[in-house]
Amino acid sequence: MKTLFLILAALPAFGQQTVNYIATTGNVSLSGAGTAATLQQPATNAAPVAFPGSFPLSPGMPPVGADVYCSVACVATISRNCTTPASATAGSVVSIVPNVPAASVTFWTASNASSCTTLRVINIGAGQDYPIDLSQFNLSTSGTTSNLHISIGSITGTVNISFYPVEQH
């Protein structure tokens, strides 16, 4: 009887699929301007989002949840739970492997999200790729104010902001 209970309790776990995605701004050329990107839950039908097990950028590097590249020295601000969610310049969230469910999380490039809670401010050197460990961070399924926002202060150079979310489907 105990064995049967354990088998039945484990059945819902077999139906869950973990899917890795990439969301990137691509290279953005700035001339005396800043930019931002936001990974955000939709208003409804959100899947839980986490960043554990995200893949490393290169061999020997730890897994990351996001990455920022600046061709010139820049300041990146990582924030969460913006009370004014992003609503302009939708980007794409792409699965790493084909034939998996589409991501429920949304991505916004040149994001207009505001009134966020700042988590960290990072000074990034010229020509640096800066991996950001988000393994302790999860997006709840509570709507559009469940978001993660990375902004870059005003520079003249190239910026690339990438997120590597993982969803349970």
Amino acid at residue number 24? T
Give me the mean pLDDT over the 27-34 stretch.
Answer: 97
Indicate whether 33 belongs to any domain.
Answer: yes
For residue range 80-104, what is the model confidence (pLDDT) as tens digits?
Answer: 999 999 999 999 999 988 899 999 9
H or E segment at 5? helix 2-14
Indicate whether 123 belongs to any domain.
Answer: yes
Residue 3, pLDDT score? 43
Residue 107, pLDDT score? 96
Indicate whether 10 belongs to any domain.
Answer: no
Indicate whether 7 belongs to any domain.
Answer: no
| Number of domains into which the chain is organized | 1
For residue range 102-134, what is the model confidence (pLDDT) as tens digits?
Answer: 999 999 999 999 999 999 999 999 999 999 988
Q: What is the CATH classification number for the domain harbouring 149?
A: 2.60.120
Residue 47, pLDDT score? 85
H or E segment at 128? strand 128-132
For residue range 136-166, what is the model confidence (pLDDT) as tens digits?
Answer: 888 888 889 999 999 999 999 999 999 999 8
What is the C-alpha to C-alpha distance for residues 162 and 150, in angstroms, rounded to an integer?
9
Instruction: Using the predicted structure, report yes or no on whether residue 15 has a pLDDT greater than 60.
Output: no
Give me the mean pLDDT over the 44-61 stretch.
Answer: 72
Indicate whether 95 belongs to any domain.
Answer: yes
Mean pLDDT, the chain, rounded, equals: 86
Residue 113, pLDDT score? 95
Contact 26, 162 (CB under 8 A): no
Domain with 57, as residue range(s), is: 17-168
Q: What are phi and psi of 165, to 5 degrees?
A: -75, 155
Indicate whether 148 belongs to any domain.
Answer: yes
Indicate whether 23 belongs to any domain.
Answer: yes
